[in-house]
Each structure stands twice: as C-alpha cells, then as structure tokens.
Structure 1
Amino acid sequence: MPATSHHSILNLPGEQRMLDAVRAGLGWAEEVRFAVAFTRFSGLQLLVDPLGELLARGGRVKLLTSTYQHLTQPEALEVLLGMDGLECRVQDGRTAFHAKFWWFNAKQGGECWAGSSNLTKGGLASNLEWNLRALEPESIELTRRQFDGLWDRWDVRPLSQELVHGYRARRHRERRPEAAPPVLWAAEPMGPAPDPSPAQREALQKLAELRARGERRAAVIAATGLGKTYLAAFDVAASRARRVLYVSHRLEHLTHARRSFAQVLRGHRLGVVGGGYLELNADVIFATVQSLRANTVLLGRKWDYVIIDEFHHAEAPSYQPLRALLKDAFLLGMTATPERQDGHDVLEWCDWNIAYEMRLPEAIERGWLLPFHYFGIADETVDFARIPWRNGRFSIEALERELSIDARAELVLEQALLRGFDGPKRATVGFCASIRHAAFMAEAFNRRKQHAAVVSGEQPVEVREELYRRLADVNDPLEWLFAADVLNEGVDIPAINSILFLRPTDSASLFLQQLGRGLRLYPGTEVLTVLDFVGHHRSGWETVKALHSPQGTGARTPIGGFHLKLPRDCEVVLQRRTEEMLKKSLHTLSRRERCEEAYRTLRDELGRPPLPLDLWHRDELPSLSDYRHVFHTWLECQQAQQDLPSWAVGLRKDHPVRGFLATLEKDWQLPRVGPYALLWGLVTRPEDPETGYEEFFQRYPQWKVEYAPLGKSGAWKSLTKNLPRSVLSHERLAPSLRELLGDDMLPQVEGRMLYTVNKDHLERHGGVLRAPSDLALHVPYSRPEIVRHFGTQYDPTRHNLGILWFGQHGVIITKLDTSGAKKTHRYRNHFESPLRFSWTSQNKMTRTNSAGLKLLEHHQPGQALHLFVQRRSHEPALYMGEVRVAQAQGDAPMTVKFDLERPAPPDVQVELADVTP
C-alpha cells in the first residue's frame, strides 16, 4: 500500500524526494506504469535493484520513454532491454514528448504521480521538480487508460536491439559540440589566461594574508579536482616570484603542471628536469624529486618560491635535500590528503600553517565537484580468508592471484554495464591490486568484446597520456582503463565518469584520492558512477565509512545502526547482501580489538612504539578518546601490547610519572596555548623555563598568533591547576620525572601534548572563513565552525557564550539536555512543534535590559537571528535556520519562543526526540 504521506513533492532539501516515492512504490506494487521523456543512467541506476526485486516476485512493469532531443541514453535502453519481464516502448516520432508519470497498483489499492520528474538523477532527486499524487480509484483507472492510449500510439515502438542501434547512430551524428572533450594536452598556451575559480580565490586570499604576516611556509589541503596546480601558478604570479621550483615524485605530474603554469605565467620561461629532460635555463623549473639529489645546479640555486606537489610524500627520505633550499624561499605544500599511512606529520615542513582546507565532501556540497552514486556490490567470488593479512593489509601477491579469476571479471562487467555511466561516452577507470591484476582485467574485458587497456607506472609518460586522451575522446572506442600504481594522484582526466574499486582499499585517504579522479566537473556529466566490489574482509567497512559527511545535506542511509550522511545530491546504494556483509564486518571487531589492531599497524609502519600524536590526522584509526575509554592511559595500552618502554616496566600504578603522562592525554580545554608552551619550556629548559617558553613559539611558529609574555599569560596558574601536585612544585617539574624518563622525556611529552595542541590550532586558526549563506539547514556544526561561518576565527575567550553577535547577525547556540550543568544553569529548552522552539535565557537577561532588548528587537531589515541546537554538551549543534521572536515572558531568566522559517524534517525530529522533554 502507498507509504508516503505527501500529496505533492518538490525535491526540497530535507524532504521526501520523488526518488523516495518511486522506490517505496516499487516495494509494494504488483503492477507499475511509467511514462518519462528522458531515461538516463543517472536515474535508472538508482532504481535497478528495486525494479529487479519487483520483477523477481512476479510484478509487471511497463515503461514508456522517448528519443526526444536525443537525451535518453541508448546504453540505458540496452539495460532495459535486458531486464527479463520488463516491457519497454519508445516514442520515436516528431511529436514532442514531455510526459512524466508514475503509476503503482496492487490488490490493496494504488497511487499515481504526475508532474515534472524524468527518469534522471535531477528529476528524481536533485532538481526542483513538482509532482502531484492521486489515490482515488477513479483517478487510478482513468490514468491507466490514458497511459494505455499513449502505449499504443502510432509513433511508439517496442524496444528492440534494432531500435537501439538506429537511435545510437542517429544520436552520434547529431551529438552536440560541447560533448567533445576539452584539449588537455596542448604544449603551448591556448586562448586567454584562465581566471581563478571560487575555491582558488578563497585560497589565494588566505595565502596573501599569511605572507602579509611574514609567514614563509604554507600548506593547501584541497580535494582532487579543485585545481591546486593552477592555484600554485596564480599564487606565484601574485607573489611576483621569479625563481620557482616545482617538485613532484612523478614526471607525469610535472608535465601536466608545466602546461597549467604556461596558461597563467605567459612571461616566464618554463623547464622540466627529470625523466630525460634537463631544461635548466628557465625561471620556473619542474623537477622530479629523484633528479634533485644529484643536481648541484638546482641544489645550489637560490629560490624565491618552492612548491611540493602531493605534499603527503614529503617525509620520504628522497625529499630531505629540499630542506636546504627553503632558507630564503616561500614554501607551498599541496595535497588532497595530508594524512600519511606511515604516520609522519608532513605539516611540520610548513610549520603547521594550513592556509586553506577544502575537503572532498564540502567541495561537492558547494557544487565545485560532481556528486557521486556509490554502489556497494556484494563480491562472493573471492575467499578473502585465504589471503594472508600482514601489517594491516593483504599480501599483494596472494591478493592479485585470488582477484584474477574469470568469475570475478564476469561479475564486474555485468554490474558495470547494468549501472552504466552518465556522460558523452563511457570513460571508466578500474583501480586494481597490481599490474598483473590490471593486465588480467583488461584482457578479460577485451575477450568480452569491450575496448579496454592497462595503464601503469611502468609505461612511458607519452604512452599513458595517449591512453588518457583516447579515454576522453568521444570518437575513440576505448572505454575502460585498468590502473595500477598510477591515477591515484596528480593526473586530471575530467572525462572520467565511472570508477571501479577492484581491490580492498588500504586506507580511507587512498580511497578518497581514487574517488576524486572522477569528480571534476565536465560538460554532459552530472554524476560519477562508483562501483565498489565489497567482499568478506575486515576493511570492507572503511570505504563506506569514508563517504560519511557529518555536514552533508544529502540522503541519510542507515547501515547496521550507523547513519551514513552524504554530501548533497550523492547516493549510496547497497545490495541487500552487501549490507549484510558490512554489518558483519562492522561488528566483527570490538572497540578494544580495533584499538589494538591500529596500534600494531602503527608500530609496524613507524618502526617504533607509537604515541598518541601518531593518531593525529589519521581518521581511519581510532581516536585518542577511544584508547582512553578502553585502556584509560597510553601506558596501559602499551602494557597490553607488551610494548612498555624500558623505564615503565615494573612502574607502580600510582607513580607520579604515570599520573603526569596520563594528564597530558586529556584535553585541558585551554583558551590559550601558553600553559602548553610553558610545559614544553619546563621540559626543554628545566633551569630556565621562561627561555624555554619563548623557544616554544620559535619551534612552533604557527602559535605566534597567541603569544603573550610569560608574566602576562597566566600560564603558571593554569599549569598548576592542570598538573598533579606531585610533579609540579616551586615552578619546577619533579626531578623524579627526568631521572626516570631521561632523554625520552621530551618525545613522551610532545607525543601526548601535541595531539591536543594540534587540534586546538586547527579549531582556532586553521579554518577557512565563510559567510552565513554557506550554512546548510539541519546539519551539525562545531562551535568553531559556527563562528567561522560569520567571518571570524574562533576564540575560546570570546565565543563560548550562549548568544553571539556578529554585526547584524545574532547567533543562539543552545542545548536540549542541561542536566549536567550547575543547578543555576539548568534551563528548559525544547521544541513545542516542528516550527516553534522555546528557549530559556541566562539568569541575568530580562525583557528590559540591554541584552534582552538586543535579542527581542533584532528583527529589522538586514538583520537576522540564527538558531543552533545541540543535544548535549560537547556535541555538534544542528543549524535550524533563521528564526523570529514570537513572544517572550518572564525575567532573569526570560522564556523566548522562536518561530522557525522551515520546519524540522522528520529525521531531525527523531534525532532530537530522546532529549526533548
């Protein structure tokens, strides 16, 4: 029976979409009739599974579509042709066909929808569409007869292979010019110089501000596809640098970078060094890191500006000669993912100065990258239990052997053809376990009459670039590239519209790098199709979890008790069997087991016992709070792993060293960095902590923004409050600490303290400033993120209040559960309805004092009140939008009732219900 409560659907954010209504109808109907002008994979791929399930249970499906304007994809028609039991006819005449009609019926009743939604991603989910529902039996019967009239029109033909072939040929002849790929491989500048994109303009402003403060080091963390190379060229031009060194570990990256710089720096001489090139007589040198080690000319040259591409590689030994070149140069490190699998913090190269950060989910949210449709395909062709698991990953030799089987290749091809692609032609990249695996997949596909090729790091750059050009060319038959050791980073092929994950992914960051290959905006493509072949193995859940975007405004997908939140217009579709497998893998390891496994993996990667700092920026690993929850202290974790430092063996539990180190693992919630700087000074200069305090700001120059002379910083008072009395007295640390720890004292202190210090810096100084218009309704924000959306960096001394004012904008941040607060601060805040929120002020506010009047009268033109609601303390706050004061009563405190502009959607009401009185 019809499950929807809506009589009309507009695909508004946070509300029911036509996609939801159609999926629901397919779930209960026995008979369906659809009439849609356009059928594209972007919509059909989201309905393939529910359509298949309806047909499998004996349901009947009639689908009428058209070739009008040549927007229907012939490949999508072939999928419909191959669905047993589905009847499809095509209106193929001169009459314009605009029908959009969805009809469902069963013995218990029926429903039909008419409106504007085609069988496309936009029509079903992301465009503003308007569809009206009818339930009356008379309407159901009338529209059935009308549909049957269209079904039998003279210009409507049964779908056949002959029809598809003819339509494809006609469509190809009349293909629109914008479908052709742009020229990406031109050696010389073409056309006018490009203008910076919105993301690049934001980053350029931040880099300029950083240089104006006298900083000489910066990192830009930006998702693949946002144009980091062009950004570097724009910033070189802005800085007026003349001697520029651009470094990467692959020649292929450098040739692409040289072309991008040529478009921007028209008056500069550009040269490449490495891979047989030795073009030293240039203003801007693009050099492989391997070529630098023996090149005395480059190592001896004085540079104005040094750029390290794919910056996350910079801790490798081959990059160390670069450090000598940075004395007088401005350093820009660029990466999509600074998190290294070996645990090294490459941000140390740039003094932890993150000039700009734009991760993949936010870039999709802002429309700067394509959305994706992710399909989790159950892969039971491979027995992963037979593959050895070492050092947190599968044995490559055994993995490639088990993956290179015909049954799996058949599954991959079948599913890839079924789910299709969106774009001028198929341009699919399959990420493989090894070169041998990639070669096997290409050969298997070619045997099945597909046009496939291998691309790997063993091929010359010219061969790889020719393959990339062919994949992008709509007139070239090449449609599949199977990749090994390349295409993870540094190469941009905007034409890619489909990605296959054909091996278990080692890390979330690698998965996102590979996903980013297909997310560039491209004419004729509105969505990236992603197929992940999920097997019975422990890392199966990591790739799905990597898609989670807490601030995403897209659909929520519940998986095994976990609510997956997605960026705008993105979808995750899991086969039923896939979801069962993921649930099993999710619950296979307890929190303790995950912590222990992550510890061992880190130890193997680092070659030493890890410390809490090694968890920083490793989102795929448990957090320090997870370890504290399981083991209470890091030493107890190491003891459980039989990995205690020698000085800790036999140390009693109440020893001051244990208490001291455990205290450093807690977040002290400090408003300023001074106490941490003083602690560092006490460790490095026990006889002269004031000098050590000053040296902290030289060692970590990113914190100069919070520097205050020690006597004015309040650091001593705060440190005395937070450290145990047994370790700090008379402005000295207890001698027993140094006697026991010796030379290990500073690494142990930094390895704990810097975990919180880094987090504090990111919260207070590392964020990009936004505007209120960038806020998304009903998504969670931390307090620092809220503040930054009003053009200000977060300051704990100013912004930890219930009401904040930013010019014409008032911000109310309140929580529903105040039971943990002092009795005098327990306020009653609750939703009276989806459109009405009741809020209690602090005790000093009245309806007549200045604070109360400022709130109650804040409704003039150009002014706004914004409401954020959190469930409990220390949780993110959901943005409820702009509100207006409806009424106020009482004083000190007063109760204010706010009217919301948009009602809280059902899922938000459920989320907040358990803490609402």
Structure 2
Amino acid sequence: MTIKLYDYQQDLIERTRNAFRDGYKAPCIVSPCGSGKSIMIAEIARMTASNKKRVLFLVHRKELIDQIKNTFDFVGVDVNYVQFAMVQTIVKKLDKTPTPELIITDESHHGLAASYQKIYDYFSDVKRLGFTATPVRLNGDGLGGINDVLLEGVSVEWLIENERLAPYDYYAPKLMQQENLKIGHLKEFTKQSIDKEIETHKAIYGDVIKHYLKLAEGEQAIAYCHSLESSIKTAQAFNDAGIKAKHIDAKTNKNERDDIIQSFRDKEIKVLCNVDLIGEGFDVPDCSTVIMLRPTKSLSLYIQQSMRGMRYKPGKRSIIIDHVANVTTFGLPDMSRQWSLNSKKKANFEMETPVKTCNECFGTYAGIDRKCPYCGYEQPIEVKETVYEEVDQDLEKVDKFEMKLNFKKPEDCKDLKELQELGKSLGYKSGWAWVQAKRLGIR
C-alpha cells in the first residue's frame, strides 16, 4: 500500500538519497523518539526492494525484528528482498549471507560494537544507513567510526509544538546522590553502588508511592528500576498501597508477559515495573507517566525511558517523575542538543539552557525564569553561591553550572583550567584552584 509521510519524514528521506548521490557511503539519520522512525525505515526499504535490490536489516534485539516486520507489511515492502537479522546471529555466518545493496542499522548508536564492525568490514563496498535518536556512545564517542554524515530531523520541541508528541511535566525529587555511585567496566553505574545508595534512603519505595499519588494518581505508569530485585520490590510496594502493579523481565514467560501487557492495556494494571526491558523495540501500550528509579550514564537510555510516556493523544500531558536526578546529567528531554561525529575529545552534545526545580511543587523546567510554569510560585532570589542548593530532604535544586560542567569535585578535573572553572562555579576565589592543583599534582 502507499502511505503518506509527514513532510519532515519525506524531507529526511530525500536528504538521505541526496547524500548517497553526493558520494557519502554511510549516512546516519538522527530523529527523535516518537518521530516515526520505523515508517521512514520501511519506506526506504520499500523503495530499495521495489528496484529488486537486497536490503540487510540489522538489529541487536529480536523484539526489534518482530515490530519492524509489522511495519514493513503495513507499508508494503517486498520482503523477498529483505533479510532481517540479529547482529549476534549474522556475524557468525557472514560467508553464507547474500551480499545486499543496502545495510540498514536500527538504533545505530550500538554500531561501534565489534560485532557490527565485523559485518560492515565484510561488506565494505555496500552502502549503509543508520537510524538513531542519540548518535553517541556511552563513553562519549560520536559515530564517526561507522558513519560519514549526520542527517538531523526535527527536534523534540518541534514535535511537541506540532502535536506529534505529547507535552510533559517533569518532576525531580531528590532521593539519591549520584556522586556516591561507582562506575563499572561498562561505564555504567554499578548495581552494588546503587543498592548501597538506596539502602541509605530507606524510604525510597514509600516516596515513590507518595509522589505517584501526588503527581499522577490513577495514571498508567511505567517504572524503570536498577535491578530485578528492585523492580519486584517496587511492584510489591505499589500493590501494598492498593495500586495494582506487576513486574516483568526478559525471563518472564511469554504467555504471562502477554497477559500482563494486555492487563496494562485494559487499565487493570496501573504500574508496570521493569529494569531495561521496556526500551528500544519493546511494544507496550500507551501510558502517560514514567517513574525513573534507575540512574544512568547513558543519554540514549535516558531519552528512551523519559520519553516513553510522550506518545501523542489529543489533550494528553505526560508526567515524568525522576527520583534519581538523571535530569541533572542530561537536561530535559526536549532540550536542544548539538550532535557530532567526533570522539569524546570534542563535545557530542551540549546543553546551554539551565534547568530549575521549583521549591514549591517540585516541577522541573528549562530556563532562568523565577516563576514556576507549573504552579506559579516565584522562586526566591538565590543568596548562596553554590552549585547545588538542598531545598529539603526530598528535592534537589538544579543550577545551570550543573548542566555545563562535567566535573563536580577537584578530583574530577584534569587540568588547571577545569579547576578554575569549578572554583568559579562554586564561588571560590581564584587562589583555590592553584591550591587544589598543587594538592593533586596538576600542572
């Protein structure tokens, strides 16, 4: 069948075709969550297959294949010319894989992994096309190793303004100090350090219930937890409070998982708890509320999870309750980000707009306006020259310096210049940086 694309989707497809005509071999389309990425992929595959050219479609999770097949059928792709493949499978049988004319990689930010690169190297003469909402690796690297041009689509802000995504309210109660967390070999926070930090705040589950009832009572919510045990406990806490909740994970029996998802769709279950299962490629019914109980260093994971409740419906407003201060690391979901193909030696994304949390209603918003857009409360003029101001036991003030500096304490700084910037943000005199540099052996 023939479908009508939105103008911004058609524009991206035309720019991709022009990029190939201009000699680029591996463009990457950057388009936000909820922008109709699957439809664009399917349309490009349809045009390629209609010319009897083979397409190799690569994913890292089976669920992505199941969903994209449905979209391909809807768009009318001739799947006789399409090979759907998990990277983990095809990398083991490259010599038995027919040579394609085009390789499409979904969630292309995974493409720097060795398995992907082995496939790309094997089919080195084949054109490639990647799709992602966040073209950056967890370690900060851009995708220059696998792509030669970024083709950026419309912004999240544009999609909200033009009723393609739902607007949102963002709340950030303070239940965790991220500086206390440790980073493991995958450059993510370790489960052990998160467990220890949560144990320090024994009221975390009670606080989760309190904030849900205050901010989103009766709404369909997805809760992202840091471990399987935490997800089970969170679901139990909701049930104990009389709010129907269920936990699911990758090992949940398929029939049981389908029953739980259907109950969530029928609104019999209000809260669905998981770790990272409900993310890229996982089909779940519409919800309005996201509860973030999992601190992360991954921008991609943050964007996927925070925007899960922003699927558009007339009159809908998503509610994001960030219990772990992820907003202080990444900013708000619709903040403008400047992407680059460069490595982490140069910034891949920058957030220039400060983020504030209202002292009165806990609403989190971008800008320097003292008047809260949620409740109208006018924030008092700050008199303390600190990066963080602890408002009370539950909340954390998010200041602009927190968004622009990647270092919070002297030990995080690698040179005198960074020490000076940190000292300035903390309101210290210029001599402080020199004292710290001497103490740390920095020249």
With structure 2 as the length reference, what TM-score do the two structures score?
0.73
Pair 547,590 (structure 1): closer, same or farther in 2 beyond 3 Å: closer
Task: Please say if residues 244 and 270 of structure 2, whose CA atoms lie closer than 8 Å, have aligned partners that are also in contact.
Answer: yes
2:76 to 265, 273, 277: 265
Alignment of 1:512 with 2:303, yes or no, is yes
- Mapped pair 1:337 → 2:134: yes
1:426 to 212, 219, 232: 219
Q: Which residue of 1 aligns with 2:195?
A: 400
- 1:705-751 Cα shifts (integer Å, max 9, x gaps): xxxxxxxxxxxxxxxxxxxxxxxxxxxxxxxxxxxxxxxxxxxxxxx
In structure 2, distance between residues paired with 1:414 and 1:367: 31
Question: Is the 2:355–2:400 contact (alpha carbons within 8 Å) kept by the matching residues of 1?
Answer: no
Q: Which has the higher strand share?
A: 1
Q: What is the one-letter code of the residue matched to 1:295?
A: K
Distance 1:592 1:415 in 2: 29
2:17 maps to which of 187, 208, 228: 208
- Select the residue among 302, 309, 329 that pairs with 1:542: 329
* 1:654-665 equivalence runs, <5 A: none
For 2:348, the equivalent position in structure 1 comes to none
1:291 corresponds, among 77, 80, 89, to 89
Is 1:327 aligned to 2:124, yes or no?
yes
Q: For each residue in 1:267-299, what CA deviation from the matched residue of structure 2 results, as whole angstroms up to 9, or x when unmatched?
A: 333xxxxxxxxxxxxx3122111111222455x
Q: Counterparts of 2:207 and 2:139 in 1: how far apart (Å)? A: 34
Task: Structure 2 unaligned segments of length 5 or more: list them.
Answer: 339-352, 359-363, 380-388, 416-420, 426-436
Map 1:190-589 onto structure 2 (within 5 A): 194-239=3-48, 240=51, 242-269=53-80, 283-296=81-94, 298=96, 300-351=97-148, 353-379=149-175, 388-390=181-183, 394-400=189-195, 402-403=197-198, 407-420=203-216, 426-459=219-252, 464=257, 466-474=259-267, 477-493=268-284, 495-522=286-313, 526-534=316-324, 541-544=328-331, 548-549=335-336, 564-565=366-367, 581-583=395-397
Instruction: Supply the AA of the counterpart residue of 1:498.
Output: T
In 2 relative to 1, CA 510–590 (structure 1 residues): closer, same or farther, beyond 3 Å? closer
Q: Identical aligned pairs, as a percentage?
A: 21
Q: Distance in 2 between matches of 1:564 and 1:402?
A: 28
Counting matched residue pairs gives: 388
Cα pair 1:241 1:305 within 8 Å, conserved: no
3-state secondary structure, aligned to 1:334: strand
Contact 1:497 1:525 in 2 (8 A): no
The code of the aligned residue for 1:483 comes to N
More RCO (CA 8 Å, sep 6+)? 2
Once the 2 structures are TM-superposed, how far is the Cα of residue 494 of structure 1 from its aligned partner? 5.5
Match of 1:583, SS state, is coil
1:71-110 correspondence runs (5 A): none
Q: CA deviation at 1:546?
A: 5.7
Cα offset, 1:355, TM superposition: 2.5
Q: Structure 1: which amino acid aligns with 2:286?
A: A
Is the CA contact (8 Å cut-off) linking 1:217 and 1:332 kept in structure 2?
yes
Q: Secondary structure at the match of 2:281?
A: coil
Q: How much has 1:232 moved relative to structure 2?
A: 0.8
Partner of 1:170 in structure 2? Answer: none
Post-superposition offset of 1:370: 1.0
Map 1:768-779 onto structure 2 (within 5 A).
Answer: none
- Mapped partners of 1:313, 1:550: distance in 2: 19
Q: Which residue of 1 aligns with 2:345?
A: none
1 CA distance for matches of 2:189 and 2:77?
A: 48
TM-score between both structures, scaled by the size of structure 1: 0.38
In the alignment, structure 1 segments of 5+ residues that lack a partner are 1-191, 270-282, 601-609, 611-621, 627-637, 645-917
Does the 8 A contact of 1:245 with 1:287 survive in 2?
yes
User: What is the CA distance between 1:238 and its match in structure 2?
Assistant: 2.4
The root-mean-square deviation of aligned C-alpha atoms, in Å, is 4.3
CA shift in 2, pair 1:214/1:456, >3 Å:
same
Cα 1:397–1:525, aligned 2, differ >3 Å: closer, same or farther?
A: farther
Report the Cα offset of residue 393 of structure 1. 6.0
SS at match of 2:323: strand
Counterparts in 2 of 1:388 and 1:234: CA distance versus 1, 3 Å: closer
Separation of aligned partners in 2, 1:529 and 1:589: 22
Query: Aligned partners of 2:204, 2:242: CA distance in 1, in Å?
Result: 17
Alignment of 1:23-38 (within 5 A): none
User: Cα distance, 1:321 vs. partner?
Assistant: 1.9
Counterpart mapping for 1:782-821 below 5 A:
none
Once the two structures are superposed, residues 339-376 of structure 1 have per-residue CA deviations (whole angstroms, 9 ceiling, x without a partner) of: 2112333243121x113333423322333211111122
Q: CA deviation at 1:488?
A: 3.0
Deviation, structure 1 residue 401: 5.4
CA distance in 2: counterparts of 1:540 and 1:267, whole angstroms: 43
Deviation at 1:384, TM superposition (A): 7.0
- 8 Å CA contact retained: 1:373, 1:573: no
Quick check: 1:400–1:436 contact (8 Å CA) kept in 2? no
Counterpart residue identity of residue 307, structure 1: I
**Cα distance in 1 for residues equivalent to 2:132 and 2:403:** 32
